[in-house]
Amino acid sequence: MKKKTKIGIIICDRYRACAGGKCFRSLQQREGAFDIYNKDEDVELVGYTSCGGCPGGNIEYAPEEMQKNGAEVIHLATGLVVGYPPCPYIDQFQKFIPEKYGMKVVVGTHPIPEKYRITHENLGTWKSPEWRDLVEPTIADEKTRLAYD
């Protein structure tokens, strides 16, 4: 029997009107942070919402709803790391969700678009070891980043 993983995606509230195109494409193609799933593995999206705006009030409740729909993993969308400024609460989200709901948290969804990588490199946003670790799953190669511009 084929393994099936159910996931939820939480996006930054700045992008609350986002249709999710890059996230859904990268999930289907197993790019960016979704490359942790084998291409032959069924991955079902069971929830998609925003954090609720700073300081992330929806983080307290959305994972529970997603869990009721079978979610085992919460992906914190790439927008939380590429938006400017990047989410100042991402570390707390990574700690809170597993503690409260026992769910795995993955930072990232789609590969970082090249235009965002260039801006953040010029600003020095991701120079710290903590931020390098956070962007690593979605940094991809230049060709992939350009495809997500």
List, in order of start, the domains of the chain with CATH numbers. Answer: 4-147 (3.40.50)
Starting from the edge strand earliest in sequence, which strands make up the sheet with 42-50, in order?
42-50, 4-11, 73-76, 104-107
Residues 95/130, Cβ–Cβ less than 8 Å? no
Of 31, 48, 32, which Cα lies nearest the Cα of 82?
Answer: 32
* Other CB atoms within 10 Å distance of the CB of residue 103: 18
For the four alpha carbons of 101, 103, 31 and 127, in that order, the dihedral sign comes to: positive
**What is the C-alpha to C-alpha distance for residues 72 and 11, in angstroms, rounded to an integer?**
17
Residues 149/110, Cβ–Cβ less than 8 Å? no
**What is the C-alpha to C-alpha distance for residues 128 and 83, in angstroms, rounded to an integer?**
17
Q: List per-residue pLDDT tens for the chain, 149 residues long.
A: 677 999 999 999 999 999 999 999 999 999 999 999 998 899 999 999 999 999 999 999 999 999 999 999 999 999 999 999 999 999 999 999 999 999 999 999 999 999 999 999 999 999 999 999 999 999 999 999 999 99
